[in-house]
Structure 1
Amino acid sequence: MQEADVAAMLRDSMMVVLKLGGPVLMVALATGLVMSLLQAATQINEQTLAFVPKVLAIGATLALSGAFMMSTLSDFAHRIFDTMVAVGGS
């Protein structure tokens, strides 16, 4: 296995991490920001008011993008296992 192959595998793994974690983190960030603005505007400082909407938003994001995430992770795993077979077989 060449250095370029290892670098490509690392690049692919980082892209998979961004594809899988990015949407969930962005939704959590946006939900937290909106809830913080609402709490600041209404002067209600209750921790559960920020937590519950975040959990619901993250759950909805996972439900809507779960198939995409699963196919992305499955494709990446197949590529990694194929590479293992190719390296081990030579």
Structure 2
Amino acid sequence: MEPGIFVDILSDALFLVIKLVSAIIVPSLIVGLIVAVFQAATSINEQTLSFLPRLLVTLSALIIGGHWFTQELMDFFNRLVLSIPEIAG
């Protein structure tokens, strides 16, 4: 067993996590920025105003991208299972 195999698996797992989390967080950040600019332009100082749009965008990103998220996780799991003989042998 070579340590390089485990480093490759770990780097693939971390890249997958970054890819999945950024697909959820980036739209929420963009909406939060738009609401913040709107609040600054209109001098509205309500903290809860940006919560609902960000929540809705995050939930819609989960709903819209749910199939893709699941497919990515399943592909990674299949690669892990198929690499067991390489790791063990």
Shorter chain as denominator, the TM-score bin is 0.7 to 0.9
Answer whether contact 1:36 1:50 (CA < 8 A) is retained: yes
Look up the equivalent residue of 1:45 and give its one-letter code: N
Cα distance, 1:67 vs structure 2: 0.4
What is the letter of the counterpart of residue 32 of structure 1?
G
Residue identity matched to 1:79: R
Distance in 2 (alpha carbons) for counterparts of 1:80 and 1:12: 10
* Uncovered stretches (5+) of structure 2, i.e. residues with no partner: none
Matched, 1:79 2:83: no
When the two structures are superposed, what TM-score results if normalisation uses the length of structure 1? 0.86
Alignment of 1:1-90 (within 5 A): 1-83=1-83, 85-86=84-85, 87=87, 90=89
Aligned-residue offset at 1:81: 3.4
**Which structure 1 residue ranges, 4+ long, deviate > 3 Å from structure 2?**
none
TM-score by length of structure 2 reads 0.87
Q: What letter corresponds to residue 46 of structure 2 in structure 1? A: E
**Share of identical aligned residues, percent?**
32
Structure 1: 5+ residue stretches without partners: none
Structure of higher RCO (CA pairs closer than 8 Å, 6+ residues apart): 2
CA distance in 2, matches of 1:52, 1:79: 38
